[in-house]
Chain A
């Protein structure tokens, strides 16, 4: 096994790959026609033009089976509509150095992969990009689940470094996100940017989620007593005597920070989904499907 393969396997273990393959099924089961119904009510017809057939896949809504085709040609196909194919998911990953510490990098890569996979399910399109150095850069666009390996390679090749400068990168990103798209931001929000920047999303019919990675090391350093803490992004060093009182204060500050961003995300139509490196991917997927699709 090559080094690259080993690294890839460390980020995306076989169990995760199996879960990733099951994402379309999970998404279709969750929708079970509800999504189509919702869009039918809102789209006034134009977005529901019949696009064609595709082979039946396990998990597809049986109500969408084309029984006529089955009767006449003995083929099991389902009907697809234009609205579903036009649904676009934008997955943007914070690529700052803080996202690469310890086990965070794997958790972020897997979260982003799940977000892309949910976007590609049921024929949607997905875009993967990164926020780094104050800018938003597109890594790839995909419109078929077959592109998932390429997505994984792109995520594996990503090396978190430097600072994201979300205060500058987010406005640039938000300006280019199309209306009614599904936006998924994967970030640890370790930034002093104003959460109000998300307000620019309001009124654009966006959906999606803010996947907030919360690494406990931020408020509970893995050492006690006298600690020489170095910020991996800025290189700043701060010597502190880590005491229970200080830990409590740091925890409170982290909680308040997360709360501010959660409120701003909700106001912009994004579900805030905090997750930790230890959060099982199955749980994260279930929340993504339930709250952000």
Chain B
């Protein structure tokens, strides 16, 4: 429904007939006295008038005038009824890429569910998307506002709260073998490759794992079981190292191959003078122990790790947008609400002359760390951790999540994320690659039972009308200018 805040302005519409009349006056036949009509070819005068070409200029002028008059009346579009907010969270786990027998992935089926929900909505309802990794999909559905909350993933969600409608789009017949952990570590006479494979199928399977073109190791895997194998690779072995598991019929192909760099991240440790001595030592130790076993302390590394003091505490700003690259990139697990929380307000981009693009704050107490990725000399990536040693306990290096944080941040900085966003070190999230086989369709009745949570919506239409009028006038002007030039 459209209402007008200033209806008196509609009186300007009366100018339209005047414009039309003026145009008619302009376009009518011009009376001319001629000495003779002897040479004027006989034509049907009425026909000449009738064949008068439609005047686009008049139409444009009338349209512009009408639009301006309507805009002057400040029209507002109001929905006629209150609406509902339907918040739908779709899992983004790697397992959602599992392809079923019909060729569609779980993600495809999830999108079909979302489309069906969208089609069932009324004109005043709003659909909000809040996608999240598998484990967080329920929490994502519960976040924000919503009269109806739906979590869509490839498995049942026993953890789903009563206010969340869980929809499962898994494939009961799906089977998969996948690498769930790979690593390479230095040994006395070369390097050793570790690979773990999980049988995500309802029956026992035999898996063959091999490193590059070397001999394979055969693993007998019970349903749901994980097996591992190690391979010794000489110091002159392939670099990078490719680990494969034979699973041509698996639902997921992304977890069948993993490529490892022998030295996954070459880290240069900045001298202590660039950071705070005590904190520097602790942080470097704790970080490198997890992040880059076998790291090389070189000046020409692909990444440099430095430690320093955080900027002026007085300069703080909201950092949700700063954290988003970490979350979206999959490099850092920052669950909503914890364990990390946004850097307190006041620390903004302006406060850091180097231009931060990665920041992390502690779960409790004052913030203590900020990671910044920047381009260093040559192709090096510099990751700087800034922290306040007076921020309180625990110290950054002693925080239980610090290794994960540091690993993810540095991995993201070095671009070392594996296929489908997998980390290449340690066991991945079980929900990430374990196939979901549950099926729970969306209960259409849930939508009908949902009470509105939104007041009737209003949308001012003045700006678009003015924009349209300006566009129309511009077109009119361009036509007259083209005629003048022609």
**Residues of A near any B CB (own CB < 8 A):** 97-99, 101, 104, 188, 190-192, 215, 217-219, 221-223, 225-234, 236, 238-241, 246, 249-251, 253-254, 257
Interface of A is mostly: mixed
Stretch among B30-38, B227-235, B341-349 lining the A interface: B30-38
How many chain B residues touch A (CB < 8 A): the figure is 23
Q: Is there contact, CB below 8 Å, between A257 and B30?
A: no
Known: A226-B29, A240-B40, A254-B39. A217 touches B46 (CB 8 A): no
Give the interface centre of B32, B37, B41 by most chain A CB atoms within 10 Å. Answer: B37
B214 CB–A CB distance under 8 Å: no
Known: A239-B49, A241-B51, A246-B41. A227 touches B35 (CB 8 A): no
Q: Is there contact, CB below 8 Å, between A229 and B35?
A: no
B27 CB–A CB distance under 8 Å: yes
Chain A residues near B48 (CB-CB < 8 A): 226, 239-241
Q: Is there contact, CB below 8 Å, between A218 and B45?
A: no
Chain A residues near B42 (CB-CB < 8 A): 238
Besides A222-B32, A241-B52, A251-B39, 6 other A-B contacts (C-beta < 8 A): A101-B35, A221-B40, A229-B34, A238-B42, A239-B49, A241-B43
Other-chain residue from B32, B39, B46, B51 in contact with A230 (beta carbon distance below 8 A): B32
Chain B residues near A236 (CB-CB < 8 A): 37
Chain B residues near A238 (CB-CB < 8 A): 37, 40, 42-43, 45
B278 CB–A CB distance under 8 Å: no
Other-chain residue from A190, A221, A254 in contact with B32 (beta carbon distance below 8 A): A221
Chain A residues near B483 (CB-CB < 8 A): none
Cα of A190 to Cα of B32 in the assembled complex, Å: 17
Q: Is there contact, CB below 8 Å, between A239 and B46?
A: yes
Q: Is there contact, CB below 8 Å, between B45 and A239?
A: yes
Other-chain residue from B28, B37, B40 in contact with A226 (beta carbon distance below 8 A): B28
A-B interface, 4 closest residue pairs, ranked by CB to CB distance from nearest: A239-B45, A98-B35, A190-B36, A228-B29
What's the nearest-Cβ distance from chain A to residue B225, in Å?
A: 90
What's the nearest-Cβ distance from chain A to residue B263, in Å?
A: 82
Chain B residues near A250 (CB-CB < 8 A): 39-41
What's the nearest-Cβ distance from chain A to residue B448, in Å?
A: 64
**Residues of B near any A CB (own CB < 8 A):** 27-43, 45-46, 48-49, 51-52
The residue in chain B whose Cβ has the minimal distance to the Cβ of A160 is B35
25 contacts between A and B (CB under 8 A): A98-B35, A101-B33, A190-B36, A190-B38, A192-B38, A217-B35, A218-B35, A219-B39, A223-B30, A226-B27, A226-B28, A226-B29, A227-B30, A227-B32, A228-B32, A228-B45, A230-B33, A232-B34, A232-B36, A238-B40, A241-B43, A241-B51, A250-B40, A253-B39, A254-B38
Chain A residues near B34 (CB-CB < 8 A): 101, 217-218, 221, 229-232
Cα of A188 to Cα of B36 in the assembled complex, Å: 10
Q: Is there contact, CB below 8 Å, between B29 and A227?
A: yes
Q: Is there contact, CB below 8 Å, between A104 and B35?
A: yes
Cα of A219 to Cα of B49 in the assembled complex, Å: 21
Give the interface centre of B30, B36, B42, B52 by most chain A CB atoms within 10 Å. Answer: B36
Cα of A219 to Cα of B40 in the assembled complex, Å: 7
Chain B residues near A97 (CB-CB < 8 A): 35
Chain A residues near B49 (CB-CB < 8 A): 226, 239
Cα of A240 to Cα of B35 in the assembled complex, Å: 16
What's the nearest-Cβ distance from chain B to residue A134, in Å?
A: 17
Chain B residues near A249 (CB-CB < 8 A): 41
